[in-house]
């Protein structure tokens, strides 16, 4: 079974990713970061979601700010003030580990060399710090799955997504680290929404599924208000597809760079999909750079949704 560490900012869709990972993969640890809410809140949310499902997965809290210490994009718009509005989950009984997220990430990779997949579903600050602290990390990891950035429309900026805008320097480090990377952009993840029929199935499920349905109802209302869209996003859970349902995602190797310059493009993920042949013989500066990620170019919505619903409905 695939060994996974999820680093994220729960967050409604991070919460779905955690539950699906714990059900279908070997979720070894959860590490948290600022993003949808302050790191204290995302850590509490992670513990509360794990407790809801009766899961004793270790949780370690991580970065409260970006590498440069810039304030993150204003949170709350999609996830509410707590980062997980919609259901008042009981205060978790468990506390996070005393270790920092970066330590837990490095130690888990060391203990499961060449077996661990790290899923990044929030700002990539913890992973960037881990890469600087342990330069062997890219060789130790089986893969990195990233939800964040966009090859098209964004959310917090016209063509940039929250997780990268919150810490562009961290994303620049991670996308360039050399580990095998599966990358899911917002332009693709935003097309896979849970519809009323899907939520009705969850409402007919066990306590965990019913609670997730209530949480996603909140998220859906926010998406309707912000985008006029009809459905609940599950961005972060889709980042696990290559290990849950590989036939549901079409991969395309691309060169991806993070724009750092101040201004409207800062935090953009610039993706080269020109399709220029390697032997095109253009001037060097016009030729594509080597592909550094496997991009989710398309997702089979029905297959992806069925996989995620089945995992959530498997809980009591
Ligand atoms: O833009 C979508 C991403 O930002 C998701 O990870 C969501 O949880 C928020 O963190
Ligand atoms: Ca997230």
Q: How far does the centroid of ligand 1 lie from the alpha carbon of residue 200, in Å?
A: 24
Q: Where are the domains of the chain?
A: 3-313
pLDDT digits (tens, 9 = 90+) for 149-207: 999 999 999 999 999 999 999 999 999 999 999 999 999 999 999 999 999 999 999 99
Q: Is 7 in the pocket of ligand 1 (CB under 6 A)?
A: no
pTM of this structure: 0.98
The backbone torsions φ and ψ at residue 84, rounded to the nearest 5 degrees and listed phi first, read: -150, 50
The stretch 43-53 carries a mean pLDDT of 98
Q: How are beta strands 293-299 and 249-258 bridged, if at all?
A: antiparallel
Question: How far, in Å, CA of 86 to CA of 95, rounded?
Answer: 23
Q: How far does the centroid of ligand 1 lie from the alpha carbon of residue 276, in Å?
A: 31
Q: CA nearest 260: which of 147, 92, 109, 128?
A: 128
Position 72 scores a pLDDT of 86
CATH number of 3-313: 3.90.245.10
Position 110 scores a pLDDT of 98
Establish whether 112 is a catalytic residue: no
Q: Is 161 in the pocket of ligand 1 (CB under 6 A)?
A: yes
In order, the DSSP letters of 59-103 are EEE--SS-TT-PPPSP--TTT-TTSSTTS-PPPPSS---SS-HHH
Atom of ligand 1 nearest to the CA of 189: 2
């Amino acid at each position: 079974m695939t060994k996974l560490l999820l680093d994220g900012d729960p967050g409604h869709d991070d919460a779905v990713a955690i539950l699906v990972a714990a059900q279908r993969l070997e979720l070894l640890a959860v590490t948290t970061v600022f993003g949808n809410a302050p790191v204290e809140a995302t850590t509490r949310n992670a513990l509360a979601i794990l407790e809801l499902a009766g899961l004793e997965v270790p949780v370690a809290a991580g970065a409260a700010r970006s590498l440069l210490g810039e304030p993150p994009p204003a949170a709350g718009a999609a996830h509410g003030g707590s980062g997980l509005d919609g259901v008042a989950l009981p205060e978790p009984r468990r506390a996070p580990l005393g270790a920092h997220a970066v330590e837990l990430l490095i130690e888990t990779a060391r203990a499961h060399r060449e077996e661990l997949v790290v899923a990044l579903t929030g700002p990539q600050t913890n992973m960037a710090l881990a890469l600087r602290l342990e330069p062997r990390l890219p060789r130790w990891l089986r893969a990195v799955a990233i939800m964040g950035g966009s090859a098209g429309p964004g959310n917090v900026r016209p063509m940039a997504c929250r997780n990268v805008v919150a810490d562009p320097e961290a994303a620049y480090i991670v996308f360039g680290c050399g580990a095998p990377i599966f990358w899911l952009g917002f332009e693709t993840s935003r097309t896979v929404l849970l519809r009323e029929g899907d939520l009705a199935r969850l409402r007919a499920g066990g306590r965990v599924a019913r609670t997730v349905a209530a949480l996603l109802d909140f998220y859906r209302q926010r998406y309707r208000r912000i985008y006029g869209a009809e459905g609940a996003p599950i961005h972060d859970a889709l980042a696990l597809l290559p290990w849950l349902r590989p036939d549901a995602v079409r991969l395309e190797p691309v060169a991806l760079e993070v724009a750092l310059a101040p201004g409207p493009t800062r935090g953009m993920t610039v993706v080269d999909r020109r399709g220029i042949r390697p032997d095109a013989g253009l001037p060097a500066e016009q030729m594509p750079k080597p592909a550094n990620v496997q991009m989710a170019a398309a997702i089979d919505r029905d297959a992806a949704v069925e996989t995620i619903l089945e995992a959530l409905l498997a809980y009591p």
